[in-house]
Amino acid sequence: MLQFNRQSVLLDMQAISKESALEEMAEIVVNNYHYLDSTNLYSILLEREQIGSTGVGNGVAIPHGKVEGLKEIIFCFGRSLQGVSFEAIDNRPVYLFALLLSPTNIASEYLQALAHVSTVLKQHTNRIKLLRSSSAQEIVTIFTPPPKKQ
């Protein structure tokens, strides 16, 4: 369901504003998926933020959008140690950024991925683990769903 690896994790974001956080997340994507354009991704993310903040509270933001020409669902994770003012619904800084991008034509899979990421981030123990993780692999493990029982 989620294509996610260590190269898609940024443990120490430098962003100090909502805009710079979105730019930094877009750069992670472009570094891993070279056929994408960071300016276009940034525009898509900014347009989504104008509808309403993706800062969902409890130090979490889930910026997301649909991208024309994308081949698969992309998930990237960023952590800000200092926190970013992100106009979150609880007006608190955001430390954990879960970026989800989807092709325009796979709504069902996209919603499943969004639900999975949201479920992981709703759990207080997972948010603590994500804040304390010392490696990208630990973060990948937290978001990797357990294997389905046969």
Sequential DSSP letters for 93-113: -EEEEEEEEEETT-HHHHHHH
Give the position of tokens 């998926």: 33
From 34, 64, 116, 124, the catalytic residue = 64
Contacts of 18 (CB under 8 A, 6+ apart): 49, 53, 84, 85, 86, 87
Residue 64 a catalytic site member: yes
What are the catalytic residues?
64
